[in-house]
Amino acid sequence: MVRIRLVPVLLALSLGFLAGCASSGAPQSGMAANQAMVSVERFLQAANSSDLEAMANVFGTAAGPVADRTGNPLSCGLRRLGSWVRVANRCTKWTDIELWMSSIASIIRHDDARIQSESSVPGRENRTVRVGVDLQIGDRTIPDVAFVVVQARRGAWFVEEIDLERITSEDQD
């Protein structure tokens, strides 16, 4: 009779899960900065050069960059189970992240950008700031485009939200 010990099996599954969560479908570039304005600058530079991987490493939430939402099949399966009991989020396919970043890049691609303001966003669990950016796109100047940037637990800042409607709307005032 073959006996399977439960502890080694659980340990192996746990290590596989942790390794899968730490891995990403995209290379980690460490683009997120320790200052909100610098993360916005890096995100804008990445958008202008269509560097979708860099964008995905700066765009995210307090939990980390969207690039970290990808993983291997085992870790994604375990994360899917965890999402049913609300202890984890589901994995995202890298192709979906690429499309998302490509869409944002096509809207915010610019000729010039000037950071005009930074202000604290009240009522948030994690430290969050609003960075106002004036964008020059062709012959249009779009003033005060809001970038909401959140600080993760390890100190890095991630662009969480962009006022794309301000850029795409006809009326800029």
| 173 within some domain | no
Per-residue pLDDT, averaged over 11-19, amounts to 41
CATH number at residue 72: 3.10.450
In the chain, the number of structural domains is 1
Residue 90 lies in a domain: yes
Query: Which of these, 62, 151, 59, 128, lies nearest to 97 by C-alpha position?
Result: 59
How far is Cα 103 from Cα 110, in angstroms, rounded to an integer? 14
The tokens describing 168, both together, are: 């795409």
Q: Which tokens sit at 43?
A: 């995100």
The answer to whether residue 1 is domain-embedded is no
* Pairing relationship of beta strands 140-151 and 64-65 according to DSSP bridges: unpaired
Would you say 58 and 97 are in contact if contact means Cβ atoms under 8 Å apart? Answer: no
Q: Is residue 150 part of a domain?
A: yes
Whole-prediction pTM value? 0.72
- Whether residue 40 lies inside any domain: the answer is yes
141/22: higher pLDDT: 141
Q: Which amino acid is at 17?
A: F
Residues 32-42 have a mean pLDDT of 89
- Number of residues in the chain: 173
Q: Is 76 contained in some domain? A: yes
Per-residue model confidence as pLDDT tens digits over 107-159 = 999 999 999 999 999 999 999 999 999 999 999 999 999 999 999 988 999 99
Query: Looking at the domain assignment, is residue 69 inside a domain?
Result: yes
Domain span at residue 115?
6-168
**Any domain includes 158:** yes
Q: How far is Cα 13 from Cα 9, in angstroms, rounded to an integer? A: 6
